[in-house]
Homo-oligomer: A and B are copies of this chain.
Amino acid sequence: MLEPTALQTDTQTLIDAINNMWILVVTFLIFFMHAGFAMLEAGQVRSKNVSNQLTKNLLTWSIGVTVFFLIGAGVDSLVGGAGFSPAFAAESAADWIGWLYGAVFAMTAATIVSGAVAGRAKLRAYVTYTILLAAVIYPVVSGMAWYATGLLGADGAVGSAVGMAFTDFAGGTVVHAMGGIAGLTAAWVLGPRIGRFNDDGSANVIPGHSMTFAVLGTLMLAFGWYGFNVGTSAIFNTENAFLADQLGRVAMTTTIAMACGAMGAGLVAWAKTGKVDTLYVANGLLAGLVGITAIPHTTTWWGAFLVGGLAGAQLPVVFSFVEKRLNIDDVCAVFPVHGSAGVLGTLMYSFVATEAWNGFTPDVGFMIEGFIAQFAGVAIIAAWTVLTTGLIWGAFKALGQARVSREHEQEGLDGSEHGIETYPEFGDEGTAVADGGTVRTDGGVVPADRRSD
């Protein structure tokens, strides 16, 4: 109970309450990004694979957050140099506020991968990979980047050697690039969907089934992203200073970067084809958000224009490169949106940081040192992610457990993995589910064997 005579206590308690209320609210917003990812990805896949994608999203959150509770949060603290402190062993129930806050970032990284491997990965392979990501792959990354005593922190081996900590405010590399790189690696090992590339290496477009769901997901993600970026700033810092400047700066740079991302991608697409591609505009908006996520607190409006605009502009270029040159089937473009955009923004840190941020002079020496620190961090995180993801999916592949059968892929994963049709009354994909035996292709009334006991 607050003692009106104990002013020090009063003020500290009020500040703690304000900070914790903020953390809870932004955590809820970040959680909502799962709904955004579900819609964004569902819209970008064929109707025969929609329920599979939705199931992956539901299970990513459900299984992933459980694993992160039991193991991942402990690995994060262990790698960060603070000892193995799993969430179930929290000293105080109040600590679970901070755990959930960390968990929604972790699950964002996890869910990105599902967009890359859509339409052909086996559900059990994907789930197994998600368990490993939540337990080890992501916590190692967050642990080495977000603790002063982690590998990339100010007191860590790399940070000390470079003389500067790796800077990643809200997870432009730790969360998004990590997820995007993992997705690209998994998609590469897995191979493309049937019909995605021709024998001569030329590519075919397999359009998603609903642009409406894709854009809905985009805007839901942008909403949640305000929690992700602005919510990475506390209201008061540990010295009880009110962080109005930081909150305002992050809110503005996040807004400008997303706007310029959408414009950048739209302009490049327009220049290439003469039309403004809706999906590029939407994904460009997200790429702008990803781009600024590592550094929204360090730069100002012109930096946000630059980072957001470039993050958007690189999207169609990198997408084409991945498709045409690498022949990797990254279904929902998670690498150009989350991977390369995140890396780009992270590497631009020292070139767009302003004196207003922390009083330093942004001279050439700082730019070089900053670039080295950022490059080292990105390289280490990328290497770890590619290595672990490649090994795991390589093992699945070697065991014949990575992909569904050719027949199941062609009929769609909704039928083969889940025994259902997403839209039993629409479209003509129904016939493909016929061999499932339980769902009639005309969408009509059917025997309830599916749920029989």
Contacts and interface: CB of A to CB of B under 8 A. Distances in A.
A406 interface: no
Contact of A59 (B260, B281, B320): B281
Contacts of A1: 239-241
Nearest to A219: B35
Given A211-B54, A285-B62, A301-B88, A248 B95 contact: yes
Interface stretch (A154-162, A382-390, A426-434): A426-434
Nearest to A420: B278
A235 B31 CA distance: 21
B278 A418 contact: yes
Contacts of A168: none
A210 B34 contact: no
A207 B277 contact: no
Interface in A23-54: 24-25, 27-29, 31-32, 34-35, 38-39, 42, 46-47, 50-52, 54
Contact of A419 (B216, B258, B275, B285): B275
Contacts of A418: 275-278
Nearest to A230: B24
Contacts of A261: 62
A405 interface: no
Given A242-B17, A244-B16, A212 B66 contact: no
Contact of A323 (B58, B216, B236, B451): B451
B54 A212 contact: yes
Contact of A58 (B38, B242, B282, B300): B282
B428 A428 contact: no
Given A17-B18, A278-B418, A425 B55 contact: no
B421 A207 contact: yes
A391 interface: no
A271 to B, nearest CB: 10
Interface stretch (A96-104, A136-144, A392-400): A96-104
A278 B58 CA distance: 9
A204 B448 contact: yes
B16 A18 contact: no
A207 B451 contact: no
B96 A258 contact: no
Interface string A324-356: 100000000000000000000000000000001
A212 B448 contact: no
B62 A278 contact: no
Interface string A205-247: 1110111110110111011001100100001100111101111
A203 interface: yes
Contacts of A429: 425
A20 B93 contact: no
Contacts of A5: 7
A275 B124 CA distance: 11
A205 B20 CA distance: 47
A236 B453 contact: no
Nearest to A320: B453
Contacts of A99: 252
Contact of A14 (B11, B25, B453): B11
A256 interface: yes
Contacts of A247: 20, 24, 94, 97
A428 B22 CA distance: 48
9 contacts: A25-B25, A51-B215, A55-B281, A87-B301, A93-B248, A93-B249, A207-B443, A277-B419, A278-B414
Interface of A: 1-2, 4-5, 7-8, 10-11, 13-18, 20-22, 24-25, 27-29, 31-32, 34-35, 38-39, 42, 46-47, 50-52, 54-55, 57-59, 61-63, 65-66, 69, 87-88, 92-97, 99-100, 103, 123, 195-196, 202-207, 209-213, 215-216, 218-220, 222-223, 226-227, 230, 235-236, 239-242, 244-249, 251-252, 255-256, 258-263, 266, 269, 272-273, 275-279, 281-282, 285, 300-301, 316-317, 319-320, 323-324, 356, 414, 417-429, 439, 443, 445-448, 450-453
